[in-house]
Amino acid sequence: MTQAAAAGAEFERIQVGSLVEEARRQIRRSILTGHLRPGERIRDSVLAEEMGVSRSPVREALRILEQAGLVEKTNNRSYRIPVFAPEDVHELAALRAADEILALRLIVTKRLPLDTLTAAVEAIAAAGDDPVQALAADAAFHAEVVRLAGLPRLVERYEGLTDQIRLVLRANEVETWERTPSVVEAHVRLLAAVRGAVDGGTEEMLRLICLWEDHVLRGMAAPQMLDPLCDGPS
């Protein structure tokens, strides 16, 4: 089966709007939903034919996605979906934990309302057993934590990592899902810890940080990246 045939059910012919942005959107969607897998090579000519556009907007879309870390150039000038080395995964996990915990400290300090986080947990529950939807809802929950802190530069920095984080998680979705049977319960627990920290004091804040850091690092298979602040989440 040719790449064009394999992509037939995934890519749509672009009719209106910005050609570059629409091409970027479709390629990004294919990567994050697992239609294009880590290590798979892609060619702008094949994608352009499938989308019904010239190669120019597809090339520009791939350049943007390269900057976001979702594709990388190969020696023969085609692109491929990256396969992250363990040290890359560990770095992403540490940066993600740092950004999210900073956001949590601000949420607690400002005693911000948590309605949007409650809705985000409900979205994870609504995804059911669909790993694609559930992983997207999971990512949305964590992104909402960062957004809620109210620091635009922090949001921008975190968004620069989000797609790479999702790609790491997506690459191991089946294994991750099998060893994490209670994803909803885990996020309910996280949200309860945030509420406890908002209503409590230093001890509750430390408990939240320990629980959150453990959740992030274990979720990205990097539990030994940082020395634990606590003996374990309680």
Q: Which tokens hold the place of 170?
A: 């997506």
**Cα(29)–Cα(104) distance, rounded to whole angstroms?**
29
Residue 128 has pLDDT above 50, yes or no: yes
179: exposed, middle or buried (C-beta count within 10 Å: 0-12, 13-18, 19+)?
exposed
* SS (HEC) of 24-58: HHHHHHHHHCCCCCCCCEECHHHHHHHHCCCHHHH
Q: 216-230: per-residue pLDDT in tens?
A: 988 887 777 766 667
Mean pLDDT over each residue of the chain, to the nearest integer = 85
- Interval 67-116: pLDDT, tens: 989 999 988 778 999 988 889 999 999 999 999 999 999 999 999 999 99
Q: How confident is the model at residue 130 (pLDDT cuts 50, 70, 90)?
A: confident
Of 232 and 128, the one with more pLDDT: 128
What are 149-185's pLDDT values in tens digits? 999 999 999 998 988 988 887 766 544 444 455 788 9
In the chain the domains, ranked by start, together with CATH numbers, are: 3-80 (1.10.10.10), 86-219 (1.20.120)
pLDDT tens column, 66-81: 998 999 998 877 899 9
Q: What is the pLDDT of residue 172?
A: 61
Mean pLDDT of 24-53: 90
| E strand or H helix that includes residue 79 | strand 79-80
Among residues 132, 173, 139, the alpha carbon closest in space to that of 33 is found at 132
Chain centroid to CA 31: 12
Q: How many CB atoms lie within 10 A of CB 118?
A: 13
Q: Is 16 strand, coil or helix?
A: coil
Query: What's the confidence (pLDDT) of residue 129?
Result: 76
Q: DSSP H helical segments within 71-221, as ranges? A: 86-110, 115-126, 131-148, 152-171, 173-179, 183-199, 202-219
The per-residue pLDDT for 173 is: 56
**Per-residue pLDDT averaged across 28-45, rounded?**
89
Query: How far from each other are the two terminal CA atoms of the chain, in whole angstroms?
Result: 51
